[in-house]
Amino acid sequence: MGERAARLRRPDYPRTGRSGIRRWLPSWRQSLSLFVFALAGLGGFVAYAYAETQIPEKLNSFATQQDNVYYWADGTELARSGWVQRQEMPLSKVPDHVRGAVLAAENANFYSDPGVSLSGMARAVGRMITGGGTQGGSTITQQYVKNAYLTQDRTASRKFDELLLAVKVDNRLSKDQILEGYLNTSWFGRGTYGIQRAAQAYYGKEVSELDPSEAAFLASLLKGASLYDPALGPKSRARAVDRWAWILDRMVTTGVLSAEQRAAYTHFPEPKAPPRTSTESGQPGYLVGLAKTYLQKAGKISDAAFDLGGYQIYTTFDRRRTTALASAVGKVRKGFDPKKPKDKYARTGAASVAPDGRILAVYGGPDSLTQGFNEANAVTVQAGSAFTPFVYAAALRDGVRRERDAPRTPVSPGSVYDADNDLPVLTPEGPYWDRNGKVVKGKNDGGLSWGRLTLHDAMARSANTPFLQLGMDVGLDRVARAAQDAGLLGAGLGPRVPAFSLGNSTPSAIRMASAYGTFAAGGVHAEPYSVVRVTRNGEPVKLASHRKDRAFSAEVSGEVTDALRAAYRRSAAASGEEPVPDTAGKVGTTGDRTAGWFTGYTAREATAVVVYRMDLRNVTPLPVTGLGGTEDADLTYPGRIWSDYLKSVAGRGE
């Protein structure tokens, strides 16, 4: 009995009573026991591996990082920043027919499956064994896991990890959450991740604007964007058309479309040509910099938030105006040779601002990648006599006081001032003495003496000495207040000495255009801004409201405009040009001839142009005389740029 029990406990292997090969072949009972044991071991291993598998706390960097997209005022793409071209979109904003196209193409029973497909996994393993790789056979949940948590390696171990994670994710997240994540992390070709960026890249639309036919094509790209993009050649297009048609038919089968709806889509929805690579070089780089700076203030968006991405930024910048401004500057700069001492360090800044505050165009420099310094936003150049309209406006608004403790008296365009050259500047106590004990005297451009002129005529002739004295009579603090009310920043205003009235302040071209625009707007100043609206992943981001304040009465503003129209007509006549109707503007020069301005406006926009020379290594102003072989460069080049630009945009009836 004991011997029999021992035999029962000990496997009969090698098998007794057998010889040859049969002695070593297990019996059917032994084979069944071995299979059951192996199956139990495999099950235990899978159970242990599943228990030990943890869903990572953080998604892959490509699954979270997005690009920021900037748009021109007309809605076309201006530029984008960031390493990954992806824009998240909540599932609630993805139309049902877009979701349906994806499900029909990739995983029709997504909402009922357990997150994995055993038959698909078997096919994938078979392909791996036969050398065909492991792609295919994945549910949407598995594909999302691969996108969000795993590498793109095609190995058996990575596939096993994918299987376990897919089951865990399916148990933890809702199907809608998984589908949303999948649509936002999938690769669609043309450098894009996510259905939103794909809609923009292929059709120039938001995902919410796609029709079922377009959705079917985008869904075909999930099979392999490099195989189905029609732009990659005739074979790719043929594959795309076949798969597009198949997906539409599948959408009928899955109930997304009716047969009648499907019948309406007989023509392949040709996607647009791939866009040229958008960078931040050239002028777009300066524009992006301005928009980002504005958003950091108006939207309180931090650098860290920008780096995370996902913003759609709709700017005020006009593409045609920006091109026209760059072209006008380029025509002048062709005559500059940086190898010549006189032309070295030649710089140009320009900006055009609408009366309501929208920054329409900017010329910030030759290229933002080679020179990050934005010359349109620089506060290193004196305004010179381009500042005198603010003195005039202050006088018309606040009046003057020529004697101490006397009441202020009103000023009109017909008020007369001495416009001779080399006139001493007077205070109620007598001449104004500088720190060196010398009487300060006013100088007119070219040393001209005009005799007695009305303020209107003094502005029209760009006579300096009347406004030097007028500033003293108004009071320099009141002049400063008027300049700030018009739109200049207090931080850029110069010291309150007589030269203040002739522009010892250093406003940027953007601020100068904005301040002149106050006169174009009938005396109402609107703070310049560069962004109309911004969204993140389709949700609006709140921005500070655009400020508007009345700086001057309509009468004061109108009288300044009348004088500047006369100044513009005189300037155009001197240069032999036909003036643009209903345009006001003025030349601006500095006493040391280191900069020249032309600032003017129409009812549509105000534009400021400054040409100067400066070594940016030490921010030292240098004379512009002789620049480009022209002795009066400060009087010539800014006006030429301004005129070319204005006629270009006026010629289009804008």
Active site residues: 106, 385
Query: For residue 57, what is the DSSP state?
Result: S
Contact predicate 131/123, CB 8 Å: no
Cα 353 to chain centroid, rounded:
18
CA gap 474, 471 in Å, rounded: 5
Q: Give CA angle at 404 (398, 408), nearest 5°.
A: 25
Nearest to 420 by CA among 452, 387, 445: 452
CA gap 304, 224 in Å, rounded: 33
Distances (CA, A) of 217 to 63, 274, 275, 420: 23, 15, 18, 76
Query: For residue 488, what is the DSSP state?
Result: -
Token pair for 395: 């006088």
CA gap 291, 581 in Å, rounded: 32
Distances (CA, A) of 349 to 293, 507, 511, 589, 605: 18, 12, 12, 15, 17
Q: How many CB atoms lie within 10 A of CB 132?
A: 12
CA gap 102, 87 in Å, rounded: 18
Contact predicate 313/86, CB 8 Å: no
Give me the amino acid identity at 371.
Answer: Q
For tokens 């109930």, what's the residue? 255
Question: Sign of the C-alpha dihedral, residues 630, 635, 639, 641?
Answer: positive
Question: Helices 195-203 and 212-220: crossing angle, nearest 10°?
Answer: 110
Tell me the three state secondary structure of residue 1: coil
Report H helices in 186-281.
195-203, 212-220, 225-228, 234-253, 259-263
CA gap 184, 179 in Å, rounded: 9
